[in-house]
Structure 1
């Protein structure tokens, strides 16, 4: 800001960087594997458990798809600069 940057613009950039990072993590979890894995690398999945920690048999997926509509600005991660 000492160099003349607008505080609101810096806030928008920081917010977008955080949103992109969260989206990337959720997308990777949803993929269930490393896109360039070493040989014999395991994959993963996120599963639902009950209150006692027992698996319900249902997997959790589509997290990255559900993330965009949760944007509190109502813009679903688009139109950042408006």
Structure 2
């Protein structure tokens, strides 16, 4: 598993604490619910790219996931 980077959490209210980005995927660690993998296959390339951009910006990732992706993750890692 790739090493997770701390999420900057610029809003100070995010449920996301860390993430890792790779070609065609993003791993997102939620404060209360563990780590999930999102891939180009599920939920799709557009969502993964948007999530990668938001993760690097440090704002909006948790909101994006809850609004547009929800339970469409490839797998739960822990």
TM-score tier, shorter chain, comes to 0.3 to 0.5
Q: Which has the higher contact order (CA 8 A, sep 6+)?
A: 2
Normalised by the length of structure 2, the TM-score is 0.34
